[in-house]
A and B are shown apart, each in its own frame.
Chain A
Amino acid sequence: MMDVQLLTSGVIFGLSIGSIFFLMSIGLSLCFGLMRIISLDQLLYYSIGAYLTYSVSLATGSMWLGTLAGVAVAGAASFVVERVVFPRIYARELTFSMITSFGVLFGGIGVIKLFWGVVPRPVPVPTLAQVSILGTEVPVYRVIVIGIAAMVYAGIWLFLNRTIIGKAIRAGIESVEHVEGLGINVARLFTITFIIAGTLSGLAGGLHAPLIMVDPQMGLEVLAFVFMVVIIGGLGSIKGTLVSALIVGQVVSLGSLVYAPLAQMAPFAIMLLILLVKPTGLYGSPLLKR
């Protein structure tokens, strides 16, 4: 059997991967919950966050400054796209938003290629220190990532439950017409939600960058995992996204300890199993029929 050290490091590794999956997927889930669109361009903001982290950390030597820049630019990009492309999408059916946002994602990859070229770039990890948890040496950076994701979740919870805008968003998730009837500017609510989603995706990109090489296709490469996370958790539910991200993270991490080749495919099998039982995901609401 596995020794405790390997298990502990596997679990922590899985938690850090799960944290990044959570940050990546929360944008997609939020956008669907409130605006009933599938915003595939969130993966573009993920890529933008990663690339800005690369460039700024190269220029200034500090990865955290790079992440901050990545988050800011990703947020700005999402604001621009929301204002220019999305107003005509909100009223249409789901497939329309999927195809159009996919077009934005693809075009954005082209823009990234234009500025940074096709060669994958490495991003330095801010600290190579290791900390001892339960007798196992674990990279500090991964623990920091877990911490950041926990703070983000707490922040989202506070935002949605303790601020007026957050409560309006939660009300909008249930019924947009009622919120409009209260006199709240729903268009502005949509924009705010979209920017939050884009910012979080950018943060995910910035945090993920030191762990992988940034290349133009990175958005497409994680697309499948983000999908699996949101489908398992159920689109529109934040708790569901957190739970499923952690599950997928643990499956990938512990699975690679047990039998490496199947570890990447295991989340897919889990997704199919869950869909058999609950076609809208663990915490998904059976809202739209089609």
Chain B
Amino acid sequence: MKRAWRWWRGILVAFALLGAVRLVLPLPFVIEVVIFSIYTMGCNFLLGRLGFISFGQPAYLAAGAYGTAFYLFYVGTNPYVGILAGIASGLAVAGLVGPLFVRLRSDYFALVNLALAVIIYYLMQKVLASITRGDNGLWFLANIASTPVLNLGKPREFFLFAFLVALGVWAFYKYLDDSIYGACCLATKINEDKLQFLGYSNYRVRLVAFLIANTTTALAGALYAVYLGFVSPEVTSPARAADPVVVTILGGAGTLYGPLVGAFAYTGMKDVISKLIGNWELFIGFLLVCIMLAGEKGIWGTLQPMLARLGRRKRETESTGGGAARA
């Protein structure tokens, strides 16, 4: 029982804080933070656990968003099924390009993903304009039916849904982290030869990680689609390719709660800074360079070791009250 508590403790604390934030800050802001952090989680997993940076996450976001959009616009009205459709299309896209992308060197991987994002942007905007309505986007807010338990059409209840989904996502990633597969992912980043000697296939580890990460991204896209009731090619525009990368680094690549912290800081800064100085790119570029040159740990990446050390010191003083010497 104690072990279960300790496993869940971090996640419950983090989401309790998130819930507390909801009481203080406006609803649209908190929903944006929740969905954006799910979006970033995919990028964070790729960068922190595999060592791959992808400048093309908008591609998979669009896959999820458009999958949901097509379903809700053309086929049915149930938003839950719509979200499932979005996840499925994200999985399909990732499954299609994954086997090729994952074999590439880290820089080619980043570039190729960006090229994919640009291609999907162009596809949605011009080539498939007949079914995607091009820049006008697909509007389906009216289509979303009222569902029994939680009416996803209403923002308040949507927030509860997104909150629970995020909780599930974090529990899933924590489980992954603690599993053997999670150790394999880390190993494939640190030393792939040794992993091969242990009998694991680097390619397979990377491919599954790629699928998991980008399906998570597609889930975020599906959530965006249902929340906004509207999808346009702008969601995958190349100018937005920087968002998940910046937030990942800002929060702390490879940490579990980095995306939450990063998404919160990024969305907050965007609101505050945009009012003060109009020039958002200058600020974010400068911030990114500074973080990278200062050790690339990010906000949670620097806080977490400090908190861990504090916790350890407190436990030491509690257990060595008698004065037994510790090494």
Contacts and interface: CB of A to CB of B under 8 A. Distances in A.
Contacts of A275: 100, 104, 108, 112
A107 B292 contact: no
B104 A95 contact: no
Given A100-B292, A227-B114, A264 B283 contact: no
A108 B47 contact: no
Nearest to A36: B107
Q: Is the interface of B mostly helix, strand, loop or mixed?
A: helix
B103 A279 contact: yes
Interface string B72-99: 0000000000000000000000000000
Interface string A86-114: 00100001111011101111111111011
A256 interface: no
Contacts of A85: 289, 293
Chain A CB count within 10 A is highest, among B103, B245, B279, B296, for B279
B103 A105 contact: no
A92 B86 CA distance: 38
Q: Is the interface of A mostly helix, strand, loop or mixed?
A: helix
Nearest to A230: B111
A144 interface: no
Nearest to B286: A107
Interface residues of A, number: 49
Contacts of B165: none
B271 interface: no
A94 B107 contact: yes
A38 to B, nearest CB: 5
Chain A CB count within 10 A is highest, among B106, B127, B280, B289, for B289
B282 A276 contact: no
Contacts of B103: 279
B110 A114 contact: no
Interface in A196-248: 216-217, 220-221, 223-224, 227-228, 230-231, 235
B27 to A, nearest CB: 30
A220 B285 CA distance: 13
Contacts of A268: 115-116, 118-119
A62 interface: no
B312 interface: no
A38 B108 CA distance: 10
Interface residues of B, number: 44
A105 B106 contact: no
B115 A224 contact: yes
B182 interface: no
Contact of B51 (A102, A109, A290): A290
Contacts of B296: 96, 99
Contact of B105 (A104, A220, A227, A279): A279
Given A106-B285, A272-B100, A290 B293 contact: no
Interface in A157-179: none
Contacts of B282: 107, 109-111, 113-114
Contacts of A228: 115
Contacts of A98: 53, 55, 107, 110
A99 B108 contact: no
Contact of A231 (B55, B112, B239, B284): B112
A258 B283 CA distance: 44
A71 B281 CA distance: 24
Contacts of B107: 32, 38, 94-95, 98, 235
A288 interface: yes
Contacts of B126: 261
Nearest to A287: B105
A113 B238 contact: no
Given A95-B53, A272-B100, A102 B242 contact: yes
Contact of B119 (A32, A95, A265): A265
Given A223-B238, A261-B127, A104 B110 contact: no
A114 B277 CA distance: 11
B123 interface: yes
B138 interface: no
A121 to B, nearest CB: 18
A8 interface: no
Given A85-B293, A231-B112, A106 B281 contact: yes
A220 B287 CA distance: 19
Interface string A105-136: 11111110110000000000000000000000
B171 interface: no
Given A94-B105, A231-B111, 11 more contacts: A38-B110, A95-B47, A103-B288, A108-B285, A113-B279, A224-B115, A228-B115, A231-B108, A235-B107, A268-B119, A272-B112
12 contacts: A38-B110, A95-B110, A98-B53, A103-B288, A107-B285, A109-B285, A110-B281, A114-B282, A227-B115, A264-B122, A268-B116, A275-B100
Interface of B: 47, 51-53, 55, 100, 103-108, 110-112, 114-116, 118-119, 122-123, 126-127, 192, 238-239, 242, 245, 249, 279-289, 292-293, 296
